[in-house]
Amino acid sequence: MRKIKILTLIFFSTLLLSSCGEYQKVLNKGTSQEQYKMAVKLYESKKYAKALRLFEKVMPAYRGKPQMERIQFMIAQSNFNEKNYTLSAYYFDRFTKTYPRSSKKEEAAFLSAFSYKLASPRYSLDQTDTNKALLAFQLFINDYPNSPRVEEANKHYKELRYKLEKKVFEVGKNYYRTAVTDFRNYKSAIVTFDNLISDYLGTELKEEALYYRFKAYHDLALVSTERKKEQRLTDAVNAYDKLVRNFPKSKFLKDSDKLLSEIKEEQKKLVKS
């Protein structure tokens, strides 16, 4: 049994070395036709990294030829499968522009958008790829309204949009948290929450944004000078009214009512003075 295992190991090791040697030989000294044939074989065997090296070698020789359409798509797909998402987004997008009549155009357009989504980082980082993905999915939905992929495209679009909303919301919350040491940040928080609500109509974060907006108005009013306090207390009451008007059964209502009571007390003090 042990002898059989050793012989099997030797056989597969020899086979592996042979295949590696053949790959290097074709890569370095093979004709364009041999390189293309092996690249397709490796692609179909899901050995995408090796296939890419060969496709890159043969591209100049096949430029303008019928095979080039297939090569371009396989390069994009190989990068996608290798998780080189920024590259796959670029190559799929280029494919749609280079081959507008291709039967693969719809698939390439979707995968370009999806690649940008997969390249998109968490909400706290730069969102360039998120914006590219949103634009690409919107264009896909517009160009292929009857595509079976539209439902999935809408789902991805919603997730990406939420990521941008979350980024703005967290910026507003950070302004609010840091206003303890710099009260000017209360105003920045209010502006940020206003922008979130106006720029992203229907956002899932609207209730919480209105709550923090009200808290910022409340806290700003309490630390204001006598000259500015009256107007800012009024602004805080208006912010409370906006929260309750939009969310009469808000989960933040109990705390908001407590803060409103504090505002009313401050208004009474101003009247007495």
Please, are residues 218 and 236 in contact by the beta-carbon 8 Å criterion?
yes
Cα-only R_g, the chain: 30
Per-residue pLDDT of the chain (273 residues; tens, 9 = 90+): 555 554 444 444 444 444 567 898 988 878 889 999 999 999 999 999 999 999 999 999 999 999 999 999 999 999 999 999 999 999 999 999 999 999 999 999 999 999 999 999 999 999 999 999 999 999 999 999 999 999 999 999 999 999 999 999 999 999 999 999 999 999 999 999 999 999 999 999 999 999 999 999 999 999 999 889 999 999 999 999 999 999 999 999 999 999 999 999 999 988 876
Count of CA atoms in the C-beta half-sphere (13 A) of 181: 4
> Would you state the structure tokens that stand for residue 104, as one six-digit string?
């693969």
Distant-in-sequence contacts of 24-30, Cβ < 8 A, 24+ apart: 26/54, 27/53, 27/54, 27/57
What does the pLDDT read at residue 273?
A: 66
What does the pLDDT read at residue 272?
A: 76
- Beta-carbon count within 10 A of 196 CB: 25
Tell me the C-alpha distance between 209 and 215, whole Å.
10
Top-level CATH class of 179-273? Answer: mainly alpha
> Would you state the structure tokens that stand for residue 263, as one six-digit string?
């505002």
Strand ranges for 96-159 from DSSP E? none
